Amino acid sequence: MTSDILKRAAEAQTESKAYFEANGIVVTDPGLVPELIVEIERLRSGLNVAWADRDMHSAARAEAEEVAERLTARAEAMEAETLEQARLLGMGAERELALMAKADRWERMADRLAEAVIGAQQIVLHCEITDGSCCCGEEMVRHSNPINCGHQPIDHGQYQADKWLEGSVDLIAAHAAMKEGR
């Protein structure tokens, strides 16, 4: 986005330079636009004095005033374009800074969550987790004979804890990869 704005500014500067050169005005620095406006007004007032005594040059005077008006309008437009481009660049920089701050907050949150997951992994690895019922719904202490029910009794709490542990390993690996910049 910034390069597009700078490209447009360079094109506007080139176009303005060509316009001034075509009308016999040499502009070496586009930052001089406000000084150009003052100089054009000074020239216009000088023209008024020079042509006050000569009515026969009224057509040339009108043409010179028209050129002066066009140059003044173009200089004012260039100044407005420059201000707008500066405003847009500032907005882009503010947005980029806000996004960077948001990304930093998300990264800190991801780090805290990874720490919490690692702590929970330690609990699952080192503590017995049970809810007292089999995955089929029967109580573990009164579970049917595996031969009669067709499966080994598996505590539902332990099963869910083991399943979570497997997924958390992948989560921590993804977080580590993200921190390394992959």
| Partners of 139 in beta bridges | 133
Q: Are 27 and 36 in contact (CB under 8 A)?
A: yes
**What is the average pLDDT across 77-100?**
79
Q: pLDDT tens digits for 108-147?
A: 888 888 888 888 888 888 888 888 999 898 898 888 888 8
CA distance 7 to 9: 5
| Predicted TM-score of the model (pTM) | 0.44
Q: pLDDT tens digits for 20-66?
A: 666 666 555 555 555 666 666 666 666 565 555 555 556 666 777 78
